[in-house]
Structure 1
């Protein structure tokens, strides 16, 4: 037990940087960054309160039909699914790509101790994801319904255990996945392709189950009679998408009866049972998936070989060399690849899948909207491609991903212009993958013409250049270079949050401009031309700014 407690303390310090936070408060030079983080969170408060006011209206709507428990299901389902999805990424990074494993694995420590300590740390990390989502649902339900003290006790227990089961499921799936994809020489490629396919299949079944439940519910002859008779009808039917969320909702909505207590025991019991199963499986799977992550290949044959330096090396264009280096870094580090390419590829598929899986009738409203206005699908495609440039986080982590090797970039005989061209080029290559997936996905919804394909491709990629440059500007001003886990460079980097905020303002401004032009009956070709001019102008101005900033920061850092 002492070993586990010691591992948890160490992992907490590494993950949350407790020593670093204390140092930052003491160090006056870094204090402004802590203040900036505080202001960043404060700036989100008005938006958060607007969302809460919208939730109050949703609760009132459910209350009018006597299905308040469905309101709770929405909260549990949203929070637990997000914990599960983020957990897949966090678990893979935390369990298999953390630098502390080099010291932990040789020690006489059971795999279950290592996995267990990291699981506890992940639980606390996931509270940052789950609490802001679930608490408004619980508080609104409790206050508006004037619920008793037992309700609040149940709420506390459910909230504390809420991330456990999704993280357990994520941990088991990742350990099995890593164990059976640990194929010599090809494991990274297999794991990357497998991870993307796994997420797509997961979303497909999730949407399919929910679609089946909705259709079965609405086709019932006595639907409205059953709705009045059973206040938990919607929860029981739609909760099939993820049963644990249904158990949590029913525990709270029936807290005054023995039924609610039994659902509470089921919710907590399954989470505890899952944790025990995960620790048991870690003894069988963890080391088999971990050992062999670092492969060393030796040259065949005996003795030394003469190497012709002129034949083994060749001069390349500096900007292309930088772009290739960036792409290789993304592809060789699975956690980078999943975070950058995963969203770019999966998001368009999910958007289409959520509509396509519900059948032809669900796509009819979309076709009616597009009828006579084919340019709407083009504008939507352009906006989505630009948004994917923000979601990929490639620009706002491009220097942070260098880590302790950042000094190499400063000493290379490469012009600053080539640094900019290369890093932007790498981002566009990833965007090109998302573009192809988007165009293929959109073809399942509507007949997309060559003109739409041309404008989505041109304006989508052109508009992504300023998005990447904005991220690069933020990252060069405050690069996160001191990290021991590649996840930190992308998932725990404040630059990503700042980049998304500025990216939303950038794309929001473009969207508002396009809406204004469309409402004033400006020709669509003129709008396309204006967007080309705006994107080129933005790109040039940001290029000049980046050139000065990189020159300055390369001398200071």
Structure 2
């Protein structure tokens, strides 16, 4: 047993270690916490509006506890959907996995150790939904100390079963679905699954709900359901029990349901260990044998003569596409904002009025607004700010390749610039086909965005060169607790914010062409400075990294 706890301790230290964090990173974490305070306050205010709007309607039928039930159901489904990519990476594709397989421990011990760190991160997602909902419900309903105590206990136990269900699903797929032959595709599909589900749910909600009457309609619909709470338990077996553990008439009922929740959770943990003992090693062995059955052809038929910078760029793009954590953070996450804007605009009833307003608006201000939106999308893309960190322990190979360091940096910049245009293409569809912006404005916006994208890329690489994270064992650690994208976004906001505000307000900068020339001049100067400092930093830092 002591060896088991030692194994768990080592895994946790490797995942959450602060040993590799310098003062800059620790300061960045503190800055991020401070910056999240107003966002958290806004989220609590938003949830309070929903709870306070639904509670009186449900209270008339004594069904107010269904607010907690649906919050738990949404939390459980969110955990299942968002945990799958993390589970796949942690269980099967982590770089430190092979070192644990040789130890004299059983499969379920390694599995539990690999589960602890992702499960802790799951509590963060759980807190986003459950904490404000439970708090605002308690304040609205006038709950007492019993409610607070059992809410805390339930918060600790509830996320375990949804996470176990997602883990068992992954283990069955990795063991029996014969996906080891398509290892790269497996990673990509795991990465895009959550994004597709979230977008799909958003579309369904907007097709079936009027946003202005959503709270009222939702509450009235629930009133008509007699066995709705039992129905939710068909999706997640602990929703009903957890709801009763939090919201019951008498304290002893809360205690009994909490004991039942504790027992059911323990049974699921035992089931998880039993299934893991029988399936986990076979799934890991299937990954290592993923080349079985493939046909090998002559290597000479696959060789092409390409410029060095383009070959390295293709290598970067393939790495991002085939690694789920890189794919999610560099591509999927970058598509989130433009896709949601697109969906909201498409399903809103006032799209026609917005289009009419665009027709009546001065082209100067239309161009400035489009340029500002593009800057935000490009500045929040972590592709450039992880260009060096994505190499990990393999960075040392770049020191020995017969390639000029500047060529490597230019190739990484080109790869990040190409990925930027994936999200900009969605904005192009929004501006051109939905908002019907004039063609001339669109053409000028494309030119300005191309230059500004290069500025964002070079600044991101400069930030990553100064403070890379190379000693990671899991691809997700490249992005967790790193504030390089936020720093790049702030630099970009400071650099272009003054330019946009000045161009917007100065009376002598009028007309579309003069506005474009002003933006081109400012963007060109900013790009020149960003390129110079990125190349200078490359000369100083390239051979000292790692």
| TM-score, length-scaled by structure 1 | 0.75
| 1:473 Cα offset (Å) | 1.7
- How far residue 284 of structure 1 moved from its aligned partner, in angstroms, is 5.3
**Conserved 8 A contact 1:213-1:237:** no
Residues 250 and 260, structure 1, Cα contact 8 Å, conserved in 2: no
- The structural deviation recorded for 1:4 is 4.5
Offset from partner CA, 1:517-557 (integer Å, 9 cap, x none) = 56789545544444333333222111111122221113543
Instruction: Determine helix, strand or coil for the equivalent of 1:464.
Output: helix
Contact 1:251/1:262 (<8 A) preserved:
no
CA-based RMSD: 4.9
Retained in 1: the 8 A contact 2:330–2:383?
yes
* 2:411 aligned counterpart, secondary structure: helix
2:38: which partner in 1? 47
**Residue among 197, 200, 205 paired with 1:202:** 197
Following the alignment from structure 1 to structure 2, what is the Cα–Cα distance between the partners of residues 3 and 150?
39
1:314-325 equivalences in 2 (<5 Å): 314=305, 316-325=306-315
Task: Please list, as runs of the form range in 1=range in 2, the aligned pairs for 1:275-286 lying within 5 A after superposition.
Answer: 275-283=269-277, 285-286=279-280
Q: State how far apart, in whole Å, the 2-side matches of 1:339 and 1:275 are.
A: 31
Higher relative contact order (CA 8 A, sep 6+): 2
Distance 1:75 1:183, change over 3 A: closer
Alignment-derived partner of residue 405 in structure 1: 394
Residue number in structure 2 paired with 1:544: 532
2:61 match = none
Map of 1:14 onto structure 2: 14
Asked if structure 1 preserves the Cα contact closer than 8 Å seen for 2:75 and 2:130, the reply is yes
Match of 1:113 among 109, 114, 126: 109
**TM-score w.r.t. length of structure 2:** 0.76
Distance 1:246 1:62, change over 3 A: farther
Alignment partner of 2:350: what SS? helix
User: Which secondary structure does the structure 1 equivalent of 2:473 belong to?
Assistant: coil
Which of 336, 353, 377 is equivalent to 1:368?
353
- Greater alpha carbon shift after TM alignment, 272-281 vs 420-429: 272-281
Aligned counterpart, 1:506: 492
| Contact 2:334–2:380 under 8 Å retained in 1 | yes
Q: In structure 2, what is the Cα distance between the partners aligned to 1:378 and 1:159? A: 48
Separation in 2, partners of 1:412, 1:236? 62
* Structure 1 counterpart of 2:456: 467
CA distance in 1: counterparts of 2:257 and 2:344, whole angstroms = 30
DSSP-derived class of the 2:201 partner: helix
Q: Which runs of 5+ in 1 are unaligned?
A: 25-29, 357-361
SS in 1 for 2:358: coil
Tell me the secondary structure at the aligned position of residue 293 of structure 1.
Answer: helix
Say if 1:237 and 1:216 are closer, same or farther in 2 by CA, change over 3 A: farther
Residue 37 of structure 1 and its aligned partner are, at CA, apart by 4.2
Please state how far the C-alpha of 1:503 moved relative to its aligned partner. 0.7
1:149 to 145, 150, 162: 145
* SS state at 2:114 partner: helix
Structure 2 runs not aligned, ≥5 long? 59-63
The answer to which of 431-440 and 204-213 deviates more is 204-213
1:533 to 2:528 alignment:
no
CA contact (8 A) 2:244 2:257 kept: yes
Contact 1:7–1:117 (CA<8 Å) still a contact in 2? yes
